[in-house]
A and B are shown apart, each in its own frame.
Chain A
Amino acid sequence: MSEKVGSPPSKGHVEVKHFDLSYDTLEGPVEAVSDASIHVNPGEFVSIVGPSGCGKSTLLNAVAGFLKPTAGEVTVDGEVVDGPGADRGMVFQQYSLFPWKTVKGNVEFGLKMKHLDKSSRDRAARTLLGLAGLTAFENKYPDSLSGGMKQRVGIVRALATGPRVLLLDEPFGALDAQTRVIMQQILTNMWQRLKISVLFVTHDIDEAIFLSDRVYCMTARPGTIKAEITIPLERPRQQSMMMSSEFLGLRRGLMSLIREESIKAMGGELNDLALDGLSIDLHGQSLADVL
């Protein structure tokens, strides 16, 4: 792991081009995501924000290889994604640690799948656990850990195989506010030391701005990429930055993008309904005629 620190990032280029995903129901096909294109440059931290149900997790799952696009293409470093694999590490919102393995056993799992021998597995796991400040807990079972600690182990486990990109699906969604802030800091630190590409899904705008180099904003039904915003905040970032005018400006921009979208969606519904009602009542005649 350690030899990677310091070298410029050269791998981890994620490219999602014109991604469509629809599924069949009895009422006909439903389009979940429509023509979404995103990319993550090597070593870049990119977030996708959007209301729940907008298909941001769908995009992430497609990069992980759990979903095949109906149309479009997902590539990592030019290779088309075809099923899940260890080159794309994933952290789930539900902690997803193996309860029957110790913290160290969980971290070693990916290396075991790579058929690494026991001593190199042991060494790699210890290095990473040290980096995450988890050395004291290496022999504990996940059930005895707090939520934040479980998710730290989850991140370390996903990083252990040296993936090209780290995918995180609302990883801190189940944590309390204080733990969340600490976890964001820890993730940032690990990302900066390992120089790995990150694709991060969240519905928390503050979290997305605080962590990311770039943020994609998605809209719902069908999910499309509404906007792409570069976050110019300098690094290292401190928690205090969240009060700066620059941060608040970005936040306001993203908020209004999302709100504009929801109002538009609601307004559309209302107008349609109103028009529907009018046409039924009037049968094509003008209002004055009816009266």
Chain B
Amino acid sequence: MQGPPRLAPYPMRWLRLNRGGLRAAVVGAISLTLFLLAWHLLTKYRVVFFVRFTNVPSPAAVYESLGRAMHDSKFFMDVMLSCRRILLGFSLAAILAVPLGLLMGRFRLVHEVLYPVMEILRPIPAIAWVPMAIMLWPTNEQSIVFITFLGSFFPILVNTLHGMSLVDPVLVRASQCLGAREISIFREVYFPASLPHIFTGLTVGMGVAWVSLIAAEMISGQFGIGYFTWEAYSLVQYSDIALGMICIGVLGLGSSALIRGLGRVVMPWNRT
């Protein structure tokens, strides 16, 4: 007679079941360490090999810079201002592009009217709008937000449109057989069916929003993390350049994670 199979102790089983995630975390940590080490060595020995590390700040110098920046309200202001611009530009883009994409996807006439204009404007990078934006908007602040808005607008619109084109017509018919009328079909079928693509658009749009924002801040800005980075170069504070860059990276990473998290909350069915 055999008893029930004996289970391994709980911690062991936890380790075994989460092997993949643990492995990725360990490898990731090693990779980051190696990156820092390479950076440290390249700057310590001021390597010149095609690219010149002569003036590049070392990790230690950047860390020092960070310490100084933490006690500096100006740095904090710059970061907050950039975040505010992203929030405004990106939110405006999402609020306009998602409904527009839904309407273009649903009504042929709207699509026929807007699509050609969209296709001409879309390839123009947001940065190319800088001179025009300065003419269009009375204040610098508004034109920077406008540039950020433009950067994220088209990725969101295009992905929403793509999502709409992939809505399964059988689901629309099923909803009609259950008594759904136009507005309900829109709200209950087209919108949720497009949501995964809308979120792809939001993620891409957020990335482009940061790209556009930093460029706009460097060109026409006062304040903001992009301006901080550019100013550091002008003022020959090289370690602040790297600090600004890392800060932009972390902010970009954080905002994408935020959207991914929001996507998980909004689309609980979409978990695989």
Interfacial residues of chain A within 114-173, with CB under 8 A of chain B in the complex: 114, 141-143, 157-158, 161
Question: B268 to chain A: which residues have CB within 8 Å?
Answer: 141
Interfacial residues of chain A within 56-84, with CB under 8 A of chain B in the complex: 64-66, 83-84
Query: Given A96-B171, A100-B193, A141-B269: A84 and B188 within 8 A (CB)?
Result: no
Proximity string of chain A (95-118) to chain B, C-beta cutoff 8 Å, 1 when within and 0 when not? 011111100000001100110000
| In the assembled complex, A233 has its CB within 8 A of some CB on chain B | no
Closest to B272 in A: A143
C-alpha gap A143/B170 in the complex (Å): 16
Proximity string of chain B (153-196) to chain A, C-beta cutoff 8 Å, 1 when within and 0 when not? 00000000000000010110111111111001000110011010
By secondary structure, the A interface counts as: loop
Proximity string of chain B (233-272) to chain A, C-beta cutoff 8 Å, 1 when within and 0 when not? 0000000000000000000000000000000000111100
Query: Given A98-B188, A99-B269, A100-B269: A92 and B178 within 8 A (CB)?
Result: no
Question: CB < 8 Å: which of B173, B195, B267, B270 contacts A92?
Answer: B173
**Contact across chains for B177 and A86 when beta carbons are under 8 A apart:** yes
**Contact across chains for A161 and B193 when beta carbons are under 8 A apart:** no
**Contact across chains for A158 and B269 when beta carbons are under 8 A apart:** no
**Contact across chains for B177 and A100 when beta carbons are under 8 A apart:** no
Nearest 6 Cβ contacts at the A-B interface: A86-B179, A110-B178, A113-B179, A84-B176, A100-B192, A90-B177
Q: Which residues of B contact A (CB under 8 A)?
A: 168, 170-171, 173-181, 184, 188-189, 192-193, 195, 267-270
By secondary structure, the B interface counts as: helix
Ordered by A's residue number, 15 sampled pairs between the chains whose C-beta atoms are within 8 Å are A64-B173, A65-B176, A84-B173, A84-B177, A89-B177, A90-B177, A96-B170, A98-B171, A98-B174, A100-B193, A109-B178, A110-B179, A113-B178, A113-B179, A158-B177
Question: B181 to chain A: which residues have CB within 8 Å?
Answer: 113
Question: A96 to chain B: which residues have CB within 8 Å?
Answer: 168, 170-171, 173-174
Closest to B269 in A: A141
Query: Given A96-B170, A98-B192, A113-B184: A64 and B177 within 8 A (CB)?
Result: yes
**Contact across chains for B170 and A109 when beta carbons are under 8 A apart:** no
A107 to chain B, nearest CB (A): 10
Interfacial residues of chain A within 194-217, with CB under 8 A of chain B in the complex: none
